[in-house]
Amino acid sequence: MIDLHTHSIFSDGVLIPAELVRRAEHKGYRVIGITDHGDMSNIDFIIPRLVTVAAELNQVLKIKIIPGIEITHVPPALIPDIIQRSRELGAQLVVVHGETIAEPVAPGTNRAAIEGGADILAHPGLITETDVKAAKNRNVMLEITARKGHSLTNGHVARLCEKNSAKMVINTDSHAPGDLITADQAKKVIRGAGLTEDYFSLMQDNANGLIAGAGR
């Protein structure tokens, strides 16, 4: 299982990174991205610490840890700059908190994330087909999420991605131990989005490709 969207105590998660990683390892994870919520006020605090802990844990564990950030509720006009600054600080994975219907995310966030070159657009809500096509052209992954609330539009995202051959990944957006899932549970989330189980392998391949280019 590869999950590229989780949170630790460096934002609103409840686990320190080491415990989050251990619990993920116990669930059968091969790779975990730790992507705490950030904006211009705290990325310089979060990212270096995740880079350090990932480097230390990766020396002794079989599970691979990818240090990242989830740019969250940043005004769209500022998102491209925050993406670039996050990479300069060492983020190997840049996720943008998309226009979920569960929160009042600013309109235009999805487009700014895509045009700014994010790796993953998380829970993009009622994303437009134009933005899905743009994500495909810019190789930005669109998320199918196991997170309650955010998952309400999984079917919409899946339908447009399937229609336009845009790349998808399956993530949990975990904040607590109970949010982590097994591969079998991930397959059920994918089926619930109206896709076949075959998409699980495809999404994991997409995630593998992203990992290979981490820190681009």
pLDDT digits (tens, 9 = 90+) for 106-132: 999 999 999 999 999 999 999 999 999
Residue found under tokens 């998320």: 143
Whole-angstrom distance, CA of residue 179 vs CA of residue 207: 19
pLDDT in tens, 157-185: 999 999 999 999 999 999 999 999 999 99
Can you name the residues that pair with 169 across neighbouring β-strands? 143
pLDDT given at position 210: 95
Query: What is the rounded average pLDDT of the residues 86-112?
Result: 98
Q: What is the pLDDT of residues 50-80, one digit of tens each?
A: 999 999 999 999 999 999 999 999 999 999 9
Fold of 2-212: TIM Barrel (3.20.20)
Q: Please give the mean pLDDT across all residues of the chain.
A: 97
Q: Which amino acid is residue 66, in one-letter code?
A: I
Q: What is the average per-residue pLDDT within 129-153?
A: 98
Taken in order 151, 152, 156, 162, the sign of the CA dihedral is positive
- Across 196-209, average pLDDT: 97
Distances (CA, A) of 25 to 45, 144, 180, 185: 26, 21, 10, 15
* Average confidence (pLDDT) over 207-213: 92
pLDDT surpasses 60 at 98: yes
Determine the average pLDDT of the residues in 123-152.
Answer: 98
pLDDT digits (tens, 9 = 90+) for 27-41: 999 999 999 999 999
Q: Please indicate whether residue 178 or residue 213 has the higher confidence score (pLDDT).
A: 178
Q: Say what the pTM is.
A: 0.97
Annotated domain spans of the chain: 2-212
Residue 213 — very low, low, confident or very high, per pLDDT cuts 50/70/90? confident
pLDDT of 214 strictly over 90: no
